Amino acid sequence: MRIGELAERAGTTTRTLRYYESRGLLPTRRAENGYRTYDEGDLRLLQQIRILQDFGFDLEETRPFVDCLRAGHPAGDSCPASWAVYRRKLGELDALIGQLRSVRAEVGAQLARAELEASAGLPGGPEPRCELNWEDDT
């Protein structure tokens, strides 16, 4: 198939495909007339890249999966190099989850403090307006 058909089937653009070629992720093959040619295996490579990018992997992190498919393995994550990328990504995700838990705890503490201060009727600000008892200041 030609580049336009591959782009359409993969749900991407020809520009993206050329970029992947320049990065060595997609093979460059040309027919006698000079047109780029691709096959179903190339579509599988693109699908693997897209899935991983949807999961938050950057383009370079997809390389071991692409290499694994090119080596003839049935799936891009059948190789030890792919497993290593998965392990690194899980470590990054665990760290992010830890950070989010910490931020959530801080936000929860701030909310609890704000609600406690408001319920104690501490001076220092205008009376809060509620939709049920809001009065016009005019």
Question: What mean pLDDT do residues 114-122 have?
Answer: 79
pLDDT of residue 112: 92
For residue 86, give both structure tokens.
């998965």
* Mean of all residue pLDDT scores within the chain: 89
pLDDT of 11 > 70? The answer is yes
Question: What mean pLDDT do residues 68-81 have?
Answer: 94
- φ, ψ of residue 73 to 5 degrees: the values are -75, 150
Element (H, E) at 3: helix 3-10
Locate tokens 């799936």: which residue?
Answer: 75
For residue 81, give both structure tokens.
């190099």
Whole-number CA gyration radius for the chain:
27
The upper half-sphere exposure of residue 93, i.e. CA atoms within 13 Å in the direction of its Cβ, equals 9
